[in-house]
Structure formats: structure tokens, C-alpha cells
Structure 1
Amino acid sequence: MGRSGIPGEWTLGVEEEFFLVDGTGRLVPRAPEALGETEDPDADLKPELLRYQVESATGVCRDAHDLHRELTDLRNQLALGAARQDARLAASGTVVHAQNGDALIGPGSRYHQIAEHFGQLVVGGLVCGCHVHVGVDDRAVALKVSNHLRPWLPVLLALSANSPFVDGKPTGYASSRHLLYSRWPSGGPPPYLESLDQYESIVAGYLEAEAALDRKMVYWDVRPSEHQPTIEIRVGDVAATAQEATLFAIVVRCLVAHAMDLIADGVAAPNVPGELLRAGMWRAAKDGLAGFCPDPRTGELRAVQAILDEEINRCTPELKRTEELELVTSTMDWLRQRGGGAERQLRAFEQHRRLDDALDEIVVPAPAMGVERHL
């Protein structure tokens, strides 16, 4: 991926992870079989760490409309494959229902090596995320972009929060996935990085300590991709709908584009102390979209939606030019009315105290059963 020919427009792609569950919310360990039932051999669909999980990856997309169409198609493909294995595709950062029994590690020797080395940490935190790639083909520049994105990580986490249940119980957090995923020794927000040499030194330290078994296991919320010429933003829960995932990716792209402008102008990123950044991430994970987190520009605790509205207003000229403004604003309006993924799951559950109702909020229907809800 790389920068397109239009100033201010950047290529992007999205990877999404999903659970396979049955009608009672129990995990279904048939990911390879479900993937074999999909109908598009060219779609980038693959198993994940556990046999209950599947993953999709878009191609290189130029705008929100192409991205939304591809995300919707990939979700439909996976939902169809799941249905043919008597399973449902669940788009949530954590599993809604309590689970019993052992986790099954997905195919591939790498996954088995990870499970053997890290033990219960692997199977004790079932999580699904959303990874956004934006084209930045210079790794040293990507690290500078990462520095500029660090203060925005709580806002992005709050926007994506969609995991309020663990072991069949409300956790009191909008993003329980963030808390679980942060247990990995290389997880969480990245440090402020002064150079590519510093980055390589940290990676080498992870490998030497066997806190990571390979370079792909640097699980920071932002990192230079190891397999694409991109910067990869990994902070988000998987979204309940393709349109929310599209919004999340476009906000990320706007932030990356602005960071590149600041870098070109010689503006250094604010060096937010890691302790304060982790505190802001905790607050975002607790509150989600409806709550508060530190303002990336001032550090003041403010409403997440107000921060997002200001950023979208800043990006309005670009979004108008790319004909994406209506999609972004209509999705934000829908979220204001209905709430983010975590809010909708909790509201559905609280009406009758039924976990099945929360699950229904985040299941992607197979095409034969009706296409995904449109906002």
C-alpha cells in the first residue's frame, strides 16, 4: 500500500477477526471447515490463532465506499461459510456467553509454538480485533506517525469499543478486549520512538527475552507492519457492522494524513508519558463511545464524541473532495442515536437479562438469511 496520486488521499486496508458460535452462543471450533465453505476463492479469508476464529483482509482500498463494499462482501462470505457449518459469525471483541472446555489451536506450526510458549495466556483471553493499515512505505516515517497517533489511541479505542462481556457477565468495561489483550508482554500502546534503531533495539530485546517469538508478535496498538509497506493501527475491537468498521478506518486515515502533514512541517509529536497514556486507555476502555477520555491535544478529560466531532470537522474539506462526508456524518449520527457496539450489546441484554439478545446484536447474518444491517 502507498500514497495515491491525489494529495491528502492515502490507501488503506482492514483486517477483521470474528468468532464462530452456535445458536446457544457456544464457540464452534470449525474455522478451517467454515472457510472451505466460502464461495470466493480469491477472497483473503484465513484461520486465526484458535479454531473458533476466522479473519478477513481487504485489498488495497482508495476510499470509504470501496472499503465498505469489500468489508460487507467479506463478512457475507464468512457468515455463509459459518452457516454451512451450523455456526454464526459473531462480530464482538470478546465472546458474549460463558464457555466450557478446552480451546483448540488453529492450524499452522506458528500458532502451536505460540500456545506452547505462552500457555494459558493464549486460551484464557479470547479476543477479536480490527487492524487498519494505511500506506506509509518508509519505516522511519511510520515511527514518526506512530508518535503523533499515540495521544489519539484512547479516542480510537473508545470509538471501537465492542466487548462488554467476559464469561457471560458484564464486566463494567466497554472494551474488555483491551484489558485482556494488554496482558501480552508486547501489548499496549507503543513507546515514543526517536529512531528506527531504537525500534529495532526494542524488538531485539523482545526476541531475546522470548517475550515475542517473532517480529509479528510486537503487538503494540500502533506499529510498522511487518508484511506490508504500511503503518498498522491495532487498537480497535472488531466492529459490530461493516459501516462502523469503515468509519473507524476513515478516522484513522485522516489522523495518519494529518500526522504526515505535521511531519512535513517539522512539527514534533507530543511525548505523552506512557503512564498517562495507559491511564487514558483504561478510561476509554471503561467508558467507550458514550464516555470521556483525554483530549489528544490538551490532555483534558472530555466527551469522546465531542473530540471526534471536532476531528471530523477538521477533515471536512478532504471528506467532501473524496465524497465520503455523508457516509462519515450519517454513521456518526446513527451512533449518537443508537450508541456504540458495547452500548447496544448491554442495552439488548438489560432489557430481558438475556445474553442471547446481546449476541443477536453482533451476529453477521449469512446472505441467505438477510444481508448485514445497514445504518
Structure 2
Amino acid sequence: MSEQLTFGVEEEFFVVDRRGRLSRHAAALVDAADEHEGELQTELNRSQAELATGVCQTHQELLGQLNDLRTGLATAGQRRGLRVVPSGAALVAESDPPGITPNPRYQRMADHFGAVAEQVTTCGCHVHIGIPDKEAGVRVINHVRPWLPLLLALTANSPIEAGADTGYASWRYRQWTQWPSAGPPPRFSSHDHYQSIVDGCLASGAILDRAMVYWDIRLSDAHPTVEFRVSDVAATAQEAVLLAVLIRALTHAALNATTPAPELSNEILRARLWRASRDGFTGHCPHPLHGDAVPTHVLVSDLLLDLAPILRENGDYDFACEQAALLAVRGGGADRQRQTLEHSGQAEDVVSMLAVGYVDNRATMDAPRSRR
């Protein structure tokens, strides 16, 4: 086993009023939140706030930072009558969208990309894993590409937009891919190949800078990491950490792989990602090896078994198994959103259920049935 890989997480949130409508005051929460390890920052839309943990070694450290940062944002919001909501899509219909954060880069993006910048308002979760060098990062991308659908299904948390069920567990992913650089990355032959594609995107105007490479996995320009961007913001900090420990173990396995990365076309991978975005955790997900759709919870169990030696070495195995078992009972974020909407018929109740600080005591309820 090589040295344990470091990791960190970025999460985006909607800042909403008491009725769940998007607020223009996310920046005020970022400025007013108490200081914690990690950082808080604004995002493209004025209704969004983002947290970023520091570099972490253990899942306990990562969970502690996520909880502290989430609580700091939520507390700042409570003082202003606002809520912080971890949902991939905006839950309540908006008659007066909050608009773009006043920032020169964001304004340039809005001018260049038009309605995409204004209308694609989504919240995701980004997991950074420390890597030895960029060539190693390219190897990780190539090996882990087939697992992207499962990573999406695991945290799918955006079935509802503007008060209606979209029919997708992750509507965020369907929206997000309107950006010209979003979606799965191709299989690269080298880091030079990676850079040549980024250069071509820049030359075409499909991206304005390297930070706009929105692939589901990319090399970070600012940090010595590979960044996984496929997932919705997780409904809970524990679910975000489950995602992170699985990604860290997959990265470790990729760095130590002795066989070539799988040959998988982007066309087929996009089709598999579509299925994962529709079904989410309690549906079916294409198997990364043969592509046949299998129950997502079965695929998660198989992955835990395959990665068990790495997870145990990292001290993550028991935590990962406990969180996966809890998901099997409660369902994923998308399932819980749907259950709440079906029960009350009000998107505002989904906002209340998701808002940071909400405690769900229904862990013993029956597991939700597959919707497919």
C-alpha cells in the first residue's frame, strides 16, 4: 500500500428565504459566518454559497470540517431569516431570479454564454484527491471514468425543480451539461493530450479560462489534485464523506493499477450517465465493466467489497459500510425529497426537510422501493 492520499471537499448550497425562494444575499452569509478551518466563498449566482474544506487525512477530520462549515453558514443565515439548502436544483418556482454575483469574471461569463449562465443554477459537490503529478492524474481519470455513473447515482439529490418532480433523480446533471465543457472527459493518451484538448476548448471560446473545464473529472489548475465534479451536493455531510472515501479508494486503486485503463467511448459513457441521473440510488445503474443495468445499491455493495483492503487501510471501511447501509434504509437524497413532496404536495416542505440543521429521525422506516 502506498502512502495515504489526502482529500478535501467543496460543496455548493442555495441560500433561500423562509418560503424557499432564492435569496440575493448569499454573499452576506459568506462574509458573516464564523471562522472555521476551510473557507467559504460566493458562486456564479447570487443565491449560492460554497464551502471548501482544508486538506484532510481522515474521514473524521473531513466530516468535522464539513459539519462546522455547514453550521457556520446556516447560523449566519438564521440571523438574517435565511436558510442554507443542500439541493442540486432550486426547489421553489422563481418569479424574479436573483441574478449573477457582481464579479468581473462572472459577468464576463454571463455576457459570453448568455442564458446558460443565467438559467443553469445548480449546486454540486467536488471531491479533490491529492496526486503525485499530473501524469498520475491523467491515469486516474482514465481508470475511474467507468465509475462516474455510480458516483452520480450515489448522491443524486435534485429530482424537484420549481415545485415539480422532473422524473430525474439528478436534474442538476441534466441541466449542468448545457455548459459546453461539461460532461465526461475523454480517455487521454497523456497529459499533453489532456492539455491539447483544453487548449482547443480555449481557442474555440467554449471556455474562457482553464477554471471552466467542467468535465466530471478534471485536473485542478489551482491545486495538486484530481477533482471529481460529477455529483450533486449531498443531502447530508455524512453522505458527502461517503462519496469522498469511495473516490479516494478508487483513486488509490487507479494509481496502483497494473492493467490498462478500460476502453470506453464517451458516447456510451454519456448514455450510462443519463441512466444514473434518471434512476439515482434506488434505481438501476449501468455496471462499469459490462454496462448492464443492475440495482445501484448492489453495485455499491460490490464496490465496498472490491475496495475493502484500501478502505480498511485508510480507516474508512466501517464508516463507508454504515453509511451505505443507512442509504439502503432511508434512500438517497432524491428519494427523500420525493417522499416529502408526495406526502405534503408542497416544495416548501422539501426545503424545510433539507435545510442545514434539520434532523431526520426516520432511520427505521422501510427502504423505499425502486422507481424503475
User: What interval of TM-score do these two structures reach, taking the shorter chain for normalisation?
Assistant: over 0.9
Describe the SS at the equivalent of 1:364. Answer: coil
1:344 aligns with 2:336: yes
What is the one-letter code of the residue matched to 2:301?
D
In structure 1, the residue matched to 2:120 is 125
Residue 353, structure 1, aligned to residue 345, structure 2: yes
Aligned equivalents of 2:159 and 2:267: distance in 1?
24
**Equivalent position amino acid for 1:308 in 2:** V
The alignment yields a C-alpha RMSD, in angstroms, of 1.7
Does residue 137 of structure 2 align to residue 142 of structure 1? yes
The residue aligned with 2:244 is: 249
For residue 174 of structure 2, the aligned residue among 172, 179, 194 is 179
Question: How far apart are 1:132 and its partner, in Å?
Answer: 0.3
Q: Unpaired runs of 5+ in structure 2?
A: 364-372
Give 1:78 shift. 0.9
Go from structure 1 to structure 2 and tell me whether the alpha carbon gap of 1:236 and 1:309 turns closer, same or farther (over 3 Å shift). same
- Is 2:82 aligned against 1:90? no
CA distance in 1, matches of 2:57, 2:12: 22
Secondary structure at 1:192's aligned position in 2?
Answer: coil
- The C-alpha deviation readout for 1:256-305, integer Å capped at 9, x for no partner, is 1111110xx2x111111111100000000000011112111222221111
Tell me which residue corresponds to 1:20.
Answer: 15
1:360 is matched by which residue type in structure 2?
S
Counterpart pick for 1:269 among 261, 269, 274:
261
Distance change in 2, residues 1:245/1:342 (3 Å): same
**Distance in 2 between residues matched to 1:344 and 1:372, nearest whole Å:** 10
Structure 1's unaligned 5+ residue stretches are 1-5
User: AA paired with 1:354?
Assistant: Q
Q: Secondary structure at the match of 1:275?
A: helix
- Percent of aligned pairs with the same residue? 42
Q: Give CA deviations for 1:230-281 in whole Å, capped at 9, x if unaligned.
A: 000000000010000000001111111111110xx2x111111111100000
Following the alignment from structure 1 to structure 2, what is the Cα–Cα distance between the partners of residues 78 and 226?
27
CA apart distance, 1:21: 0.5
**Deviation larger for 252-261 or 354-363:** 354-363
Cα offset for 1:373? 8.1
Q: Which residue number corresponds to residue 320 of structure 2?
A: 328
Summarize the Cα distance change of 1:41–1:332 in structure 2 as closer, same or farther, 3 Å threshold. Answer: closer
**Corresponding residue for residue 289 of structure 1:** 281
Q: Distance in 1 between matches of 2:36 and 2:302?
A: 42
Do the aligned residues in 1 keep the contact of 2:86 with 2:354 (CA within 8 Å)? yes
Distance 1:313 1:146, change over 3 A: same
**SS state of the match for residue 281, structure 2?**
helix
The answer to whether the Cα contact below 8 Å between 1:243 and 1:374 also exists between their aligned partners in 2 is no
Shift, 1:41, TM fit:
6.4
- The alpha-carbon distance between structure 1 residues 177 and 64, as it changes in their structure 2 partners (threshold 3 A), is same
For 1:306 and 1:96, how far apart are their aligned partners in 2? 30
Using the TM superposition, give the Cα deviation of residue 372 of structure 1 relative to its aligned residue in structure 2, in angstroms: 9.1
> For residue 314 of structure 1, what is the aligned residue in structure 2?
306
Give 1:105's aligned amino acid.
I
